[in-house]
Amino acid sequence: MQPLATSVPVAVIGAGAMGSGIAQVAGQAGHQVFLLDQREGAAEAGRQSIANILQRRVDKGKMEQADLDALLDRIKPVNELKELAEAGLVIEAIVEDLDIKRSLLADLEALCGDNTILATNTSSISVTALSAEMQHPERLVGMHFFNPAPLMALVEVIKGLATSDDVAKCVYATAGQWGKKPVTATSTPGFIVNRVARPFYAESLRLLQEQTTDSATLDAIVREAGGFRMGPFELTDLIGHDVNYAVTTSVFNSYYQDTRFLPSLVQKELVEAGRLGRKNGQGFYSYTEGSQKPEPATVASASSEADTLIVEGNPGPLAPLVTRLSECGLNVIERDGPGRLQFGDAVLALTDGRMATERAAAEACNNLVLVDLAFDYTKASRLAIASAEQASAQAVSDASALLQKAGIAVSHIADRPGLVIMRTVATLANEAADAALHGVATVSDIDLAMKAGLNYPEGPLRWSDSLGFSLVHQVLTHLQQSYGEDRYRPALLLRKNRFAEKGFYS
């Protein structure tokens, strides 16, 4: 299916940050754009906002003045709905209210030609529900941009139950022509991103509630070990806790209170206290003038007399860390064993989803120190560790000293199942696998959505494959055993792959 020709006008209804951003994207692709908002003067203000933002690029020599002038000529603020009649694609980006959107869609059906595609930028309302009262529901499609629309690459193309394949394919191709990375999804709660991303926030919120460590340390671990652009607490402060909590609650209720999406009491309390994040100066952190973000908890320089690293068996995902440590002047000895490292009194192993205390008892290894997952052990600047209650102080010191030799900051957190990055990646992969199983989107589109929409360092299903077909399943099984909750039940597709000894891409 071909994309819309640039000679076809596009209309955008709603001139807020999202609507004006979509208008900018369509205008930069060469379309004439009609920009409408019911608030008096809002459409003109939206166009001016585009001008102000891009003028700064012109002033810095990153854009030609002639190109900006031409773009602004293509964006036309209008005052009445009837002025959108000639548009070939109408994108509504108005308030998230089912009845208001349905009323607008009814007016558009009466106004626009039969071949006009109607698109909704909704982030949470079912496209199927929106189209239920339309005369021609096949012409409605979701076109979910991410804020800021000119900068964020992802567009979720959402098919409602009645959406025409040709309409969805045309919008998909058009988004690609506009320089975006489109993915196709079915109209299920949260679509791809807002569903699959829930564990990114939920697991750190739970760890905070369990007093594992503080928010600044969890954020630092997620960034510096996990490779994520922002930690969950600074990100929710940026999004706004009212917004993030509302999305979580909506997904939770839409899935009939499935515990996988259980909202956090910690975040609920912030919302009730009016601590919404950056928008009003206080969330997990203070944003008032002169305030400083807390420093993450970091182990001070640890002492160890050890100079020999013993590698017992295949270290699995820790192999890159072993390589990094071996380049620090240590004497390295390799021998058969269960895939653990010994340094001084410490026995180090990658977390498998159990608490260190539980695993130490099961494996008769008192001085066990568990190491968290990292996206790239060769570049990670921080790692989380958790020690068994049985471990000696010297074992913990030896483990910390070993990692510090490689220039890695160490955060010694309370002993909780799965530590931080491992349980986050495992639960993200689990939700992604469940979405793939239910046909929400393909495996590759799910991974692309999480990378392009949220800047994840890797798609969760690709990341799961890189850890081996069984590790994520093992971690989830241990988490479920530790908590006794359905929240961590392994998705059926992930479980099948584990026993088939295959990955999502093999």
Does 401 share its domain with 330?
Answer: yes
170 and 23 part of one domain: yes
What CATH number has the domain bearing residue 19? 3.40.50.720
The CATH number of residue 381's host domain is 3.30.750.190
Catalytic residue (choose from 156, 203, 224, 431): 156
Classify residue 114: in a domain, yes or no: yes
Same domain, yes or no, for 289 and 142?
no
CATH code, domain carrying 273: 1.10.1040.50
445 with 334, same domain? no
Instruction: Give the per-residue pLDDT at 265.
Output: 97
Q: Is 378 helix (H, G, I), strand (E, B) or coil?
A: coil
Which of 412, 439, 467 is at the close of a domain? 412
Do 454 and 335 have their domain in common? no
The number of distinct structural domains making up the chain is: 3
HSE value, Cβ hemisphere, 13 Å, CA-based, for 61: 0
Q: Rounded distance, CA 370 to CA 16, Å? A: 48
Task: Give the active site residue among 109, 126, 144, 250.
Answer: 144
Phi, psi for 385 (deg, rounded to 5): -130, 155
End position of a domain, from candidates 412, 447, 469: 412
Mind listing the pLDDT tens digit of every residue in the chain (506 residues)? 799 999 999 999 999 999 999 999 999 999 999 999 999 999 999 999 999 999 999 999 999 999 999 999 999 999 999 999 999 999 999 999 999 999 999 999 999 999 999 999 998 899 999 999 999 999 999 999 999 999 999 999 999 999 999 999 999 999 999 999 999 999 999 999 999 999 999 999 999 999 999 999 999 999 999 999 999 999 999 999 999 999 999 999 999 999 999 999 999 999 999 999 999 999 999 999 989 999 999 999 999 999 999 999 999 999 999 999 999 999 999 999 999 999 999 999 999 999 999 999 999 999 999 999 999 999 999 999 999 999 999 999 999 999 999 999 999 999 999 999 999 999 999 999 999 999 999 999 999 999 999 999 999 999 999 999 899 999 999 999 999 999 999 999 999 999 999 999 98
- Which of 412, 447, 477 is the endpoint of a domain? 412
In angstroms, the CA 451 to CA 462 distance is 11
**Contact status, residue 420 vs residue 484, Cβ threshold 8 Å:** no
Q: Is the dihedral of CA 194, 200, 203, 204 positive or negative?
A: negative
Tokens of 62: 């990153």
Does residue 412 have an active-site annotation? no
Q: Are strands 181-186 and 308-312 parallel, antiparallel or unpaired?
A: unpaired
Q: Which residues contact residue 243 at a Cβ distance below 8 angstroms, ignoring those fewer than 6 apart?
A: none
Q: What are the start-end ranges of the H helices in 60-131?
A: 65-74, 98-111, 127-131
Cis peptide preceding 148, ω within 30 of 0: yes
Domain that holds residue 36: 10-187
pLDDT of residue 178: 98
Q: Is 144 marked active-site?
A: yes
- The residues that bridge with 349 in the sheet, in sequence order, are 370
Total-model pTM: 0.95
Same domain, 165 and 16: yes
One domain for residues 394 and 433: no
Domain annotation covers residue 21: yes
**Residues in the chain, total:** 506
- Let me know: does 234 contact 208? Beta carbons within 8 Å: no
**Residues 6+ positions from 81 with CB-CB distance below 8 Å:** 36, 107, 108, 111
Q: Is 313 inside any structural domain?
A: yes
User: Which amino acid, residue 230?
Assistant: M
**Active-site pick, 20, 121, 123, 497:** 123
167 and 207 in a common domain: no
Question: In this structure, are 336 and 431 located in the same domain?
Answer: no
Mark whether 395 and 427 lie in a shared domain: no
Whether residue 105 is found in the same domain as residue 141:
yes
46 shares its domain with 146: yes
172, two tokens: 């998909």
Check residue 124 and give its pLDDT: 84
> Is residue 107 within 8 Å of residue 133, measured between CB atoms?
no
Cβ(318)–Cβ(225) below 8 Å: no
Active-site position among 20, 126, 187, 194: 194
